[in-house]
Amino acid sequence: MENVDSGKQSYREARIGSIERELESEKKKYARLLRTYKRVDKAASFALGMCAVLNVICSAGALSTAATGVGVVACLRLSSLTVVNSIAMMVLTVLAKRIRKKCKKHEDTVRIVRSYQSQIEDSVSKALEDGEIDETEFAGAVKCLGFYYDEKQQLRKPSTTIDEDLTKHINSRN
């Protein structure tokens, strides 16, 4: 009977260890992605600022050459450069918004991983106090991993509008 209990105990210890390693690798993966997205966001913000400055310079140059009357040809070129620059600013704005959305998603994922990691560490430390991992502590650790993947999946779903949520709620009541 002791051999069976020690087998269960070693399985539980191994499984909790693998859960901890899995969560640690998830945390590292999403933290690395978060750093990358933050760098890209910083670069996009810098490029957006440079486009804004260039837009002001080109607009001022186009207006000043148009005012002289002599530089109409230069005015057309500067104006077309301003239009292209404005389009680039619009694209960069949309790109920056998407990058910030991804940053938030990865920040939330890292926060969730840390939360469940600490819950598992708490249950493991309680188990170490009495020397063995009982069924409830083991089930709690396994459920934490399941809850993590459920919440992670929930983060990945596209957000719905308030109207859609209200419609679903009203339809579910009927």
- What pLDDT, in 10s, does the model give residues 113-158? 998 888 888 877 877 777 777 788 788 888 888 888 888 888 887 7
What pTM was estimated for this model as a whole? 0.71
Inform me whether the pLDDT recorded for 3 exceeds 80: no
Mean pLDDT of the chain: 82
Residues in the chain: 174
Q: Which residues contact 89 (CB under 8 A, 6 or more apart)?
A: 48, 51, 52, 55
Higher pLDDT, 29 or 137: 29
Q: Which residues contact 134 (CB under 8 A, 6 or more apart)?
A: 127
Mean pLDDT of 8-28: 86
Higher pLDDT, 143 or 31: 31
| Integer CA distances (angstroms), 78 to 17, 56, 57, 70, 126, in order | 64, 11, 9, 14, 71
Mean pLDDT of 67-79: 76
Higher pLDDT, 168 or 121: 121
Distance CA 17, CA 127 (A): 13
Two structure tokens written together for 96: 């920056």
| Integer CA distances (angstroms), 156 to 101, 102, 126, 165, in order | 11, 10, 33, 17
| pLDDT on residue 111 | 92
Inform me whether the pLDDT recorded for 174 exceeds 70: no
| pLDDT on residue 145 | 84
Least confident window among 23-27, 28-32, 128-132: 128-132
Higher pLDDT, 162 or 84: 84
Two structure tokens written together for 58: 């080109």
3-state secondary structure of 174: coil
Percent of the chain with pLDDT over 70: 87
139 φ, ψ (degrees, to nearest 5): -60, -35
